[in-house]
Structure 1
Amino acid sequence: MTCLSFAAAVATSTAKPKPNIIYILLDDAGYGDLSCYGQTKFLTPNIDRLASEGMKFTNHYAGSTVCA
């Protein structure tokens, strides 16, 4: 019985919640095309909300040409 209790305690303490990851890749979009990065000509409220509640990355490179 002691072994069973220990196994249950170990199983519950090591389980970590998995993060939700949304990766948005846009063709021909620049750094200044979204208002969450400072663009002011039009609003992008849904992407702004995702950016404010999550993580924003400001340094991303493509290993090869990705648009014409």
Structure 2
Amino acid sequence: MKRILLLAVLFVAASLQAAKPNIIFIMADDMGYGDVQALNPKSKIPTPHLNRLAKQGMT
């Protein structure tokens, strides 16, 4: 009985633990801040995947 209670407490404690944020750090050569369409709508370089990531998260 004590084992079951201990396992239940551990399971609840693990499930209540705060989730860590997902962070994506992109390093690109010869790409400036204004080259991503999500940050600069006048950009001539299409960046659909970066636009989607920026729309779904924080920039």
The bucket for the TM-score relative to the shorter chain is: 0.5 to 0.7
- Which whole-Å CA distance do the structure 1 matches of 2:15 and 2:50 have between them? 35
Identity %: 47
Larger helix proportion of the pair: 2
* TM-score normalised by structure 2 residue count: 0.62
Task: Give unpaired runs (5+ residues) of structure 2.
Answer: none
TM-score by length of 1: 0.56
**Higher RCO by CA contacts (8 Å cutoff, separation 6 or greater):** 1
Q: How many residues align?
A: 53
1:54 positional shift:
1.3
Quote the RMSD (CA, aligned, Å).
2.4
List structure 1 segments (4+ residues) > 2 angstroms apart after TM superposition: none
